[in-house]
Structure 1
């Protein structure tokens, strides 16, 4: 698939994931990195190398135990597993760096996809071991070293464990996107909460 088509598919996936998240009524505000007014909220610097990375979606959760907490999400609108495993490793390193330097913006990290990947290790994708692997895959950007042994010694185990605790792995499908509350009904719920002073 040509690069431009992939880019458009990625943008479409992020928009659809945002719409799905909002339809749960548990998201109070959500931003896309394609929105010029919101993109800056979703961009963070690597620890070393002078490069930045960004998340596709970010926002504030609403209601219950997550009320007022921030989330950052990466979306993959894939029709097959593809190269998600490689992207996911890098994503875990980004989550580590974000939590290390910007903890107040990183209550939850969500990976939203339309196709499972690494199914042989699916049950371990949110484990601290997988977080360590991800951090080591980007050792030069996280620790300014190419040495795996040196990087292993530099990993903050508390941060790695906390990243694992904050990970969400969500799998959507085209039909599932339609099996949610309608915008009209969502509007009624929000109106009720606004009037009650709880929104």
Structure 2
């Protein structure tokens, strides 16, 4: 298996593991995973581009706020650039929703098994 394929498979396994972990907390329902329901994990950014998150769902509380989770099952600790890109996408998706009059008060999560080192 090539390095890119190995990383993609680790990403897939990480997304399913995170989905199970999130649901085990009983605080969220995480029915949508990018590999099975990509249309449910996408949000539109300010530039019109659609961005996908790995897992999506909603909180099991009165408001049922939607959440979008990005999963990083990396073997390296150089996640700083990816984390900044993630923050930019979260801001852009939120700003687009507000601009369109659809502020759904999304929640975003960054889930990783490796330390994040910002550089």
Please classify the TM superposition score into its range, dividing by the shorter chain length. 0.7 to 0.9
Match of 1:58 in 2: 56
Q: Unaligned stretches of 5+ in structure 1?
A: 121-199
Contact 2:80 2:118 in 1 (8 A): no
Match of 1:78 in 2: 74
Contact 2:56 2:66 in 1 (8 A): yes
Superposed, which structure 2 residues align to 1:9-48 within 5 Å? 9-35=10-36, 38-48=37-47
SS of residue matched to 1:104: coil
Greater strand content? 2
Aligned-residue CA RMSD (Å): 2.1
Question: With structure 1 as the length reference, what TM-score do the two structures score?
Answer: 0.52
For 2:115 and 2:12, locate their aligned partners in 1 and report how far apart those are by CA, in whole Å. Answer: 19
Q: Which runs of 4+ in 1 moved over 3 A?
A: none
Superposed, which structure 2 residues align to 1:141-160 within 5 Å? none
TM-fit CA distance, 1:119 = 6.5
Greater helix content? 1
Match of 1:104 in 2: 104
Offset from partner CA, 1:80-107 (integer Å, 9 cap, x none): 313x11111110111011111233161x
Larger Rg: 1
Q: Unaligned stretches of 5+ in structure 2?
A: 98-102
Higher RCO structure, 1 or 2 (CA under 8 Å, sep 6+): 2
CA gap 1:22/1:76 in 2 versus in 1, 3 angstroms: same
TM-fit CA distance, 1:5 = 1.2
TM-fit CA distance, 1:45 = 3.2
Number of aligned residue pairs: 113
